[in-house]
Chains A and B, each alone.
Chain A
Amino acid sequence: MVTSILPLKLEEATVRKGGSRILGPLDLTLDGEGCTILLGPNGAGKTTLLRLLHGLDRTSGGQARWATPREEAYLRQSFVFQSPVVMRRSVRDNIAYPLLVRGVGRKEARERAVEWIAHVGLAGADDKPAQILSGGEKQKLAIARALIIKPEVLFLDEPAANLDGTSTRDIEALILRAARAGTRIVMATHNFGQARRLADDILFIYRGRIHERGPAKEFFAGPETKEAETFIKGDLLL
């Protein structure tokens, strides 16, 4: 077994954009297994934190460190965006792409992509141009593309934000299955039901800080901070 890329440690990490601080400074250690849900109102910094963890955004201060060298860590993690980015290719070639980038042969990559097409419930769509898929199907494609490299960590940024019930259920099932297979899940959402269904532990983000962190059961039973309580009750958190 190769050494794990976890834990991921943030130390005094800060992200600034356009002169103002939108995240941090925060300390965070990400380790172990299961599914961590980032919860919080819009603009709290959930997306920025995910992007920072994944390396899409850089720290303006402090640091983010994986247990292995950066290059190795980046090869073993995936990210699913809120609005799925599909390439102008067939569904199969979209899903095969991360394997091609990692040097897997075209034939093998396509074979594995076809398996994943079946896993995520897109059977029969192999040769379709990915752009003609529906929103839910695009997100399934994105999840297949994220999981095909067998990532150790999977980040998801509100993957079901614009989807209907059926698609959301399918996507949650895929996430849970990945979690059970041992993939560390870190996902942002502001949908409570979803957080309850998926979370092992909760990171409550508010105004660019980690306001509260704890196991999901305890968090939902009785949050420690007033803001989290307001948020859970469904009141407007201003």
Chain B
Amino acid sequence: MNDLSAGVMAAFGLIFNLDHNLVEISLRSLAVTFSAIAIASLIGLPFGAWLAVTRFRYRRVTIAILNALMGLPPVVVGLVLYVLLSRSGPFGVLNLLFTPTAMIIAQTILILPIVASLAHQALRELWFQYHDLLISINTSKWQRMGALLLDGRRSLLTAVLTGFGRGIGEIGAIMIVGGNIDHLTRVLTTAIALEVSKGNFPLAIGLGIVLILLAILINIAIHILSRTEREGTW
């Protein structure tokens, strides 16, 4: 209990003093996860829409694999990426290991199946409603995907926020490919792990509280900006 209350105090101390290191690693956490979620959304949302409107031979298998990938173990993703990006690996020449870019790649791989799968599930319902109408109006496949993405944007927000949640709290992959290097690749989660290993529990818990507050704040901000739960049922 002592550690917990000390942690809360530490969190307040860090936040009110706007601790320089805290701000730095928090911003890096956000930058990495926002970049990953942006890339994952750019690919995953259209892919989800495409899956919803397209019938092809291996569709069921594709969806099953996609759903399975939602639970991809971060450590394994980090490990494989590490091998690929290391000096002797196939992408070693790019010099990406232990950079924020490598962390963004890792998180994108983790988030993409979540965004795509949740987008597909949400848009499948909508496609069921729109199916006859959009065929009747003689829309092209691209127009169908566009209509679903536009009209389903509120449910897609949930997909994106879920992906964000997975990314911001993730440590397994970014620890391996990022390396937790101070002022370079240290983010909130890796900093917490470091403090724990040093036995500095109050600071670790303080950082943890900051992390959770940050996640809540971002969610609220996005909900307010997109005005969900306000205009009718959509």
Contacts and interface: CB of A to CB of B under 8 A. Distances in A.
Are A and B subunits of one complex? yes
Interface of A: 54-56, 74-75, 78-79, 81, 85, 87-89, 97-98, 101, 129, 131-132
Given A89-B151, A129-B234, A97 B137 contact: yes
20 contacts: A54-B136, A56-B132, A56-B135, A78-B136, A78-B137, A79-B132, A79-B136, A81-B132, A85-B129, A85-B130, A85-B132, A88-B126, A88-B152, A88-B234, A98-B137, A101-B137, A101-B138, A101-B139, A129-B234, A132-B232
B143 interface: yes
Interface in B204-234: 231-234
A185 to B, nearest CB: 16
A81 B233 CA distance: 22
The 3 tightest CB contacts between A and B, nearest first, are A85-B133, A88-B151, A79-B136
A56 B136 contact: yes
B232 A129 contact: yes
Given A56-B132, A88-B151, A74 B138 contact: yes
A81 B129 CA distance: 12
Q: Give the interface size bracket for B toward A.
A: 10 to 19
Contacts of A97: 137, 147
Contacts of B150: 89
Contacts of A101: 137-139, 143
Interface of B: 126, 129-130, 132-133, 135-139, 143, 147, 150-152, 231-234
Contacts of A56: 132, 135-136
A98 B129 CA distance: 17
Contacts of B234: 88, 129, 131
A79 B139 CA distance: 14
A81 B138 contact: no
B136 A87 contact: no
Contacts of A87: 130, 133, 147, 151
Contacts of A88: 126, 151-152, 234
B233 A131 contact: yes
A79 B137 CA distance: 8
A101 B152 CA distance: 18
A97 B143 CA distance: 10
A88 B147 CA distance: 9
Given A74-B138, A75-B138, A88-B151, A81 B232 contact: no
Given A89-B151, A131-B232, A131-B234, A81 B139 contact: no
A101 B146 CA distance: 11
Contacts of A74: 138
B43 to A, nearest CB: 24
B157 to A, nearest CB: 13
B135 A81 contact: no
A98 B135 CA distance: 11
Given A85-B129, A87-B130, A101-B143, A129 B231 contact: yes
A50 to B, nearest CB: 11
A154 to B, nearest CB: 11
A116 to B, nearest CB: 15
